[in-house]
Amino acid sequence: MIWSWEYAWSVLPLLLDVIGTTLLATLFGFLIACTFGMVLAVLGRSRFRVIRWTVNGFIEFVRNTPLLVQLFFLFYALPLSLGISMSAFTTGVIGLGLHYSTYLAEVYRSGINGVEKGQWEAARALNFSKQRTWTRIILPQAIPPILPIMGNYLIVVFKETPLLAAITVMEMLSRAKNIVSRDWRPTEPYTLVGILFLVISLLLAALVSLLEYKMAQRQSK
């Protein structure tokens, strides 16, 4: 028999047992991406050419190299070259965060560029400091329009978490591989992992759609 419901129900709790690791890696990785992406977006507008070049170079390098290679470097090469050693989970979270911060930096940049020039001029006329200009005027106007795009990247980060299996993070795919190695039945574990990813991705997509709807309602008022 290709598919056994009895066997599928028996391995499902083992997969659900590590779903928290997958969700935590997604959440923490996305938070790092949002935070560092904002830093990159702001530094990318620096009046100092060296800073702009450095930021743009970092973004291009990270975006044009595979995430899996970056994870291997952080987990295997960094401890040997610099003596910096982290747990597999921490390495995976940082790897996800740094990689997608470069994408979110561009999202932030588009939102910032969408703020009218008159807002910058008004801040200068009122003698606002740079910090106050960013926190009180620019960011409150730049972030709301890009929230749906950021939500889409949350889904992307979630779907990339299986790559963490390559650095021994025990998430859903790793657990499924262990089950397959033990029982030599690949159909049920891998199918269940796919279904779980599909269900959670659809739930996240529904939340993003709800966010878009709420924002559209707010803008129409």
Ramachandran category for residue 184: left, alpha or beta (phi over 0 → left; psi -120 to 50 → alpha): left
Taking only the tens place, the pLDDT of each residue in 163-196 is 999 998 988 989 999 999 998 889 999 999 999 9
Q: Which helix (H) or strand (E) holds 186?
A: none
Between residues 145 and 217, which one has the greater pLDDT? 145
Domains, the chain, ranges and CATH?
A: 5-220 (1.10.3720.10)
Helices (H), the chain: 5-16, 19-43, 49-63, 67-72, 78-82, 88-113, 117-125, 130-132, 139-160, 172-183, 187-220
Task: Say what angle helices 139-160 and 88-113 make with each other, to 10 degrees.
Answer: 140
At 134 the pLDDT is 86
Q: Which residues have CB under 8 Å from 221's CB, separation 6+? A: none
Is residue 84 within 8 Å of 16, Cβ to Cβ? no
Torsion, Cα of 136, 116, 154, 60 (10° steps): -110
pTM equals 0.89
Torsion, Cα of 131, 50, 75, 156 (10° steps): 60
**Residue 216 confidence (pLDDT) above 80:** no
Task: Say what angle helices 49-63 and 19-43 make with each other, to 10 degrees.
Answer: 150
